[in-house]
């Protein structure tokens, strides 16, 4: 297979050398998907069986795109036999094959984030915990982080550092919630997203024969976006590659922006340590952007110290210089940016779909939405409520999941009285108590409802029986019928359609359309499964949609619209014109990163990602005053603007009587940010502060910085750090292991 006319010399080198460990550093727009695609095609042309190649991506969209390209090169049959997909879909597939080893059945349910949160709320209710203290989102995040660090409930409870951190955060019972949550999931035959990685690690740890089976099976391993892998993913990949060591990872350390999700930039930076015999390939030619945009991005990212050296270049046109909009207020910023989009669209006859507005936080969208509406410019918010998170779709999904897995308690609770059948919360609680008393599930209690005559009335039992019979009939259908026929039956027999027919409001009509669209999705799944000779049953369909990512859920229509999104959501996308807005200190970079070199480096990488989304034109904007928590503040322009080389920035036409400026000057701050009042401390009566006494809200004294108040604590053990507001010296982040802090004597 000859690729010489379709790849540049660096790409060709990365494609042809298939043996041993390989690190492909793929700069923005440098054709990494092409390299992965052709490398797999090269392996297949060398006679490597498709089923011996494992290719891991972060979105189904990326996997589908690669599979289509490979099919065009080597044929659909070979492409279909590849083990290619997202981490969660591939490891979910392995877990279904090996489920009995871990005490699950192959038809386990996969919970999304909302399902998981609902179960956590229910457990907290049973434990009588205050949800104002134990915020469900925070608890869910804590459990998720523990799982991604491979910390099981028992290990969590045994860790003195973790228990101390939870105690200081006034949440000492998270370990109890975690334990109940894990037990409930196992009993209900349920895994959440994090379990798909955690349980795979446990599988390979506890069953070495199974690990060896997959090590021998996957002779070649390819990983996309390696800089975004977390610790759990890293360990699985390392274990699978240990035997053959034919591992190729592709990524860009300059685009590592997901540390808040557990991603570790160290994984790509330390690849050379894990595989000393590795080969390094750098893809540095950018095919997406103009010379000016690439130069702008290079000049910014050069300020990061810890990175793999590379110099992105472009052979495209020079392109326009970068336009910087400086508005007086945040509202005026929205108006000016939208006016610029309107002007360009009209003068250059561009579709509105060619424009994207990128911001650091979702809350910034409001003012741009207002300005777009006033100009009658259509827009869409990227990353809004996905199709499969809409209520009517979630209701239908609950019925379908129950048909496959009757022990799925969250689904049973959701639909046992929807549509209304006179089964109240009191009845559900009585069933729950019966289930707990017999250490069983809600379905088991429901299946033995005749034994509950002492706590349920005959009338209630008569209402429960038809529901039980209905679910059993659906379960029976799943054994023989296609996914489409089962879903069609559930939609009609459950009463969902009848319930929606009574609502003729625009919202009600939309809900009915969503159910119809769901049926269309099932039909498409069945047709694809038939073409690819796959099983078109309900269980595989549910597994497929449970693993959809945000990008896979995009339901926008074809009407040209301006796209609004956070920079995090924009990764992997590109637009002819990109507007990066809100470029001010405390906003972008975020105030949370201002005093941490590693967090500031990630903010700079995030800005780099924003810049490299643009193909032809970049517009950057900031405001000199902005509302923040009801107060007007005057933040200086972002340091990132200062880091752009002046030769790439458009010099504005001078105003009458005003001098021309070659660089962006920071405006004088006229209205300081409102700071919290720090209580006085008696420095005559001080004692060294015990580490466990340093918690948010405590007033401390530092010999160099004076009196300050602790804002937050992060890290564990020797890595514990305190963010402290010292009014005389601004906010500081101090490593408690070395900080000389004092408090007043008790």
pLDDT at 108: 93
- CA nearest to 33, candidates 375, 288, 392: 288
pLDDT at 665: 37
Element holding 88 (H helix, E strand): helix 87-98
Angle CA(414)–CA(415)–CA(421) in degrees, nearest 5? 130
pLDDT at 210: 97
Note if 740 is an active site residue.
no
Contacting residues for 137 by C-beta, under 8 A, at least 6 apart:
117
Packing angle between helix 231-241 and helix 136-148, nearest 10 degrees? 20
Cα separation of 190 and 195, whole Å?
A: 9
pLDDT at 6: 84
pLDDT at 260: 82
Higher confidence at residue 340 or residue 514? Answer: 340
- Tokens linked to 251: 């990524």
pLDDT at 177: 96
pLDDT exceeds 50 at position 269: yes
pLDDT at 228: 92
Name the least confident of 8-17, 277-286, 348-357, 444-453: 444-453
Confidence class of residue 440 from pLDDT cuts 50, 70 and 90? confident
Higher confidence at residue 683 or residue 238? Answer: 238
pLDDT exceeds 70 at position 87: yes
pLDDT at 657: 42
Q: 443-457 pLDDT, tens per residue? A: 988 888 777 776 777
**For the whole model, what pTM was predicted?**
0.75
Higher confidence at residue 677 or residue 244? Answer: 244
Annotated active-site residue in 33, 163, 329, 586: 33
Q: In Å, what is the CA distance from 449 to each residue of 362, 417, 427, 464? A: 48, 16, 11, 8
Q: 689-740 pLDDT, tens per residue? A: 877 778 877 888 887 778 888 887 777 666 778 888 887 777 788 878 777 7
Annotated active-site residue in 571, 613, 616, 639: 613
**3-class DSSP assignment, residue 580:** strand
Relative to beta strand 721-726, strand 706-714 is: antiparallel
pLDDT at 250: 95
Q: 282-330 pLDDT, tens per residue? A: 999 999 999 999 999 999 999 998 888 888 999 999 999 999 999 998 8
pLDDT exceeds 60 at position 662: no
Note if 639 is an active site residue.
no
Q: 528-574 pLDDT, tens per residue? A: 787 777 888 999 899 888 876 555 544 445 578 999 999 998 998 99
Annotated active-site residue in 229, 255, 296, 441: 255
- Tokens linked to 186: 């196992």
pLDDT at 724: 85
The strand pairing partners of 623, in sequence order, are: 327
Note if 272 is an active site residue.
no
Note if 225 is an active site residue.
yes
Give the count of alpha carbons within 13 A of 106, CB side only. Answer: 7
Mean pLDDT throughout 201-212?
Answer: 96
Confidence class of residue 227 from pLDDT cuts 50, 70 and 90? very high
Task: Give me the chain's average pLDDT, please.
Answer: 86
Annotated active-site residue in 224, 253, 330, 552: 224
Annotated active-site residue in 225, 330, 602, 603: 225
Note if 307 is an active site residue.
no
Mean pLDDT throughout 219-235?
Answer: 94
Note if 224 is an active site residue.
yes
Q: Determine contact, residues 724/731, Cβ cutoff 8 Å.
A: yes
* Peptide bond connecting 589 to the previous residue in cis, omega within 30 degrees of 0: yes
Q: 467-525 pLDDT, tens per residue? A: 999 999 999 999 999 999 999 999 999 989 888 887 777 677 778 878 888 888 888 88
pLDDT at 666: 35
């Amino acid at each position: 297979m000859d690729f010489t006319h379709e790849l540049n010399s660096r790409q060709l080198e990365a494609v042809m050398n298939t043996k041993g460990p390989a690190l492909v550093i793929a700069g923005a727009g440098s054709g990494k998907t092409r390299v992965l695609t052709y490398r797999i095609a090269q392996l297949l042309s060398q006679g490597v069986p498709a089923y011996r190649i494992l290719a891991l991506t972060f979105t189904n969209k990326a996997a589908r795109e690669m599979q289509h390209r490979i099919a065009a090169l080597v044929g659909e049959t070979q492409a279909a036999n590849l083990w290619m997909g997202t981490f969660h879909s591939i490891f979910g597939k392995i877990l279904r094959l090996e489920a009995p080893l871990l005490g699950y059945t192959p038809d386990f349910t996969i919970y999304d984030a909302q399902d998981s949160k609902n179960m956590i709320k229910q457990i907290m209710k049973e434990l009588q915990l205050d949800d104002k203290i134990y915020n469900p989102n925070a608890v869910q995040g804590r459990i998720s982080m523990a799982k991604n660090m491979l910390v099981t409930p028992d290990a969590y409870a045994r860790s003195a550092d973790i228990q101390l951190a939870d105690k200081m955060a006034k949440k000492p019972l998270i370990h109890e919630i975690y334990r109940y949550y894990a037990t409930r999931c196992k009993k209900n035959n349920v895994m959440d997203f994090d379990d798909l990685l955690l349980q795979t690690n446990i599988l390979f740890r506890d069953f070495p024969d199974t690990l060896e089976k997959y090590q021998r099976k996957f002779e070649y391993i390819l990983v996309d976006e390696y800089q975004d892998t977390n610790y759990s993913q890293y360990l699985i990949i390392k274990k699978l590659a240990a035997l053959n060591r034919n591992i190729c990872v592709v990524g860009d350390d300059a685009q590592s922006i997901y540390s808040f999700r557990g991603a570790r930039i160290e994984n790509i930076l330390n690849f050379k340590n894990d595989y000393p015999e590795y080969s390094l390939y750098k893809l540095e030619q950018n095919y997406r952007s103009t010379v000016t945009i690439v130069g702008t991005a290079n000049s910014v990212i050069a300020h990061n110290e810890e990175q793999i050296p590379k110099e992105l270049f472009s052979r495209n046109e020079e392109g326009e210089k970068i336009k910087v909009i400086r508005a007086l207020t945040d509202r005026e910023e929205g108006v000016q940016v939208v006016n610029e989009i309107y002007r360009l669209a009209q003068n250059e006859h561009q579709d509105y779909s060619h424009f994207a507005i990128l911001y650091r936080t979702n809350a910034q969208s409001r003012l741009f939405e207002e300005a777009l509406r006033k100009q009658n410019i259509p827009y869409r918010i990227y990353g809004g409520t996905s199709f499969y998170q809409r209520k009517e779709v979630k209701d239908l999904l609950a019925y379908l999941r129950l048909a496959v897995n009757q022990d799925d308690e969250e689904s049973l609770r959701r639909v046992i009285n929807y549509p209304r059948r006179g089964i109240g919360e009191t009845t559900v609680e009585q069933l729950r108590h019966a289930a707990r008393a017999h250490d069983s599930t809600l379905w088991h209690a429901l299946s033995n409802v005749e034994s509950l005559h002492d706590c349920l009335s005959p009338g209630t039992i008569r209402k429960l029986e038809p529901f039980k019979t209905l679910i059993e009939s659906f379960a029976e259908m799943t054994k023989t019928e296609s996914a489409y026929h089962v879903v069609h039956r559930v939609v009609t027999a459950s009463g969902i359609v009848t319930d929606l027919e009574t609502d003729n409001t625009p919202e009600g009509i939309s809900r009915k359309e969503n159910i119809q669209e769901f049926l269309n999705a099932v039909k498409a799944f069945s047709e694809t499964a038939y073409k690819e000779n796959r099983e078109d049953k309900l269980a595989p369909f549910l597994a497929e949609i449970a693993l959809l990512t945000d990008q896979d859920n995009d339901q926008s229509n074809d009407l040209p619209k301006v796209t609004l999104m956070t920079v995090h959501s924009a990764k992997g996308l590109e637009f002819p014109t990109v507007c990066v807005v809100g470029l001010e200190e405390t906003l972008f970079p975020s105030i949370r990163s201002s005093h941490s070199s590693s967090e500031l480096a990630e903010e700079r990488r995030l800005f780099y990602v924003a810049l490299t989304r643009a193909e032809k034109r970049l517009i950057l904007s900031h405001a000199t005053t902005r509302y923040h928590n009801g107060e007007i503040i005057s933040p200086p322009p972002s340091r990132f603007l200062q880091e752009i080389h002046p030769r790439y920035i458009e010099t504005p036409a001078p105003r009458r009587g005003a001098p021309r400026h070659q660089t962006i000057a920071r405006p004088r701050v006229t209205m300081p940010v409102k700071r919290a009042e720090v209580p006085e401390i008696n420095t005559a009566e001080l004692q060294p502060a015990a580490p466990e006494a340093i918690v948010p809200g405590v007033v401390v004294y530092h010999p160099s910085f004076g009196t300050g108040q602790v804002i937050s604590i992060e890290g564990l053990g020797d890595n514990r750090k305190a963010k402290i507001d010292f009014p005389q010296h601004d906010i500081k982040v101090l490593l408690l292991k070395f900080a000389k802090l004092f408090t007043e004597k008790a």
